[in-house]
């Protein structure tokens, strides 16, 4: 098992590394060439800035029982298809039971934007809070507990 991270805009890299160190779990962080990331713990893989390059590189390194950290519902769906676990930086655990609804809602929002209709949820991004970090850390620990020793 390892943790693979879509790290370009990931706000919880520090939490991931801290927990991974405690459990001695390998972490691989993927970024594109428009970002810089240095880590004393994680392996950092930099890929081209091509569309979806980070997503494809991350998924190529994902195996069953890995934990994928991503904000991208499509990446989460593909990770679940590979029998990996998937977690959003908000702490939301992606599952086979909730991913289809999330993908559908994303599709509807995209269609509304395309037709000039703004969804109120899309007008701004809420500022991240300490509670968000606590929720993420709790969810990551819950996922880790779900693995047999």
The model's pLDDT over 83-141, given as tens digits with 9 standing for 90+, comes to 999 999 999 999 888 766 665 566 566 667 777 766 555 555 678 889 999 999 999 99
**56 part of a folded domain:** yes
In what side-by-side order are the strands of the sheet with 26-32?
43-47, 26-32, 2-6, 67-69, 85-87, 93-94
Residue 115 lies in a domain: no
Q: Is residue 123 part of a domain?
A: no
Would you say residue 118 lies in a domain? no
> pTM for this structure?
0.85
Whether 104 maps to a domain, the answer reads no
Whether residue 111 is contained in a domain is answered as no
Q: Which domain CATH number covers 138?
A: 3.40.50
**The domain containing residue 35 runs over which residues?**
2-96+129-145
Structurally, the chain folds into a number of domains equal to: 1
The residue-averaged pLDDT of 12-29 equals 97
Residue 113 lies in a domain: no
């Amino acid at each position: 098992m390892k943790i693979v991270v879509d790290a370009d805009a990931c706000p919880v890299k520090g939490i991931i590394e801290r927990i991974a160190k405690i459990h001695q779990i390998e972490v691989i962080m993927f970024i594109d060439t428009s970002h810089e990331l240095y880590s004393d713990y994680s392996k950092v893989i930099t890929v081209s800035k091509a569309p979806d390059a980070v997503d494809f590189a991350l998924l190529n390194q994902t195996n069953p029982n890995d934990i994928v950290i991503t904000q991208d519902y499509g990446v989460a769906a593909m990770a679940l298809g590979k029998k990996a676990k998937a977690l959003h930086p908000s702490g939301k655990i992606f599952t086979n039971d909730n991913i289809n609804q999330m993908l559908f809602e994303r599709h509807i929002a995209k269609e509304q934007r395309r037709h000039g209709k703004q969804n109120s949820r899309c007008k701004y991004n809420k500022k991240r809070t300490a509670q968000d970090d606590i929720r993420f850390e709790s969810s990551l620990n819950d996922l880790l507990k779900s693995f047999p020793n």
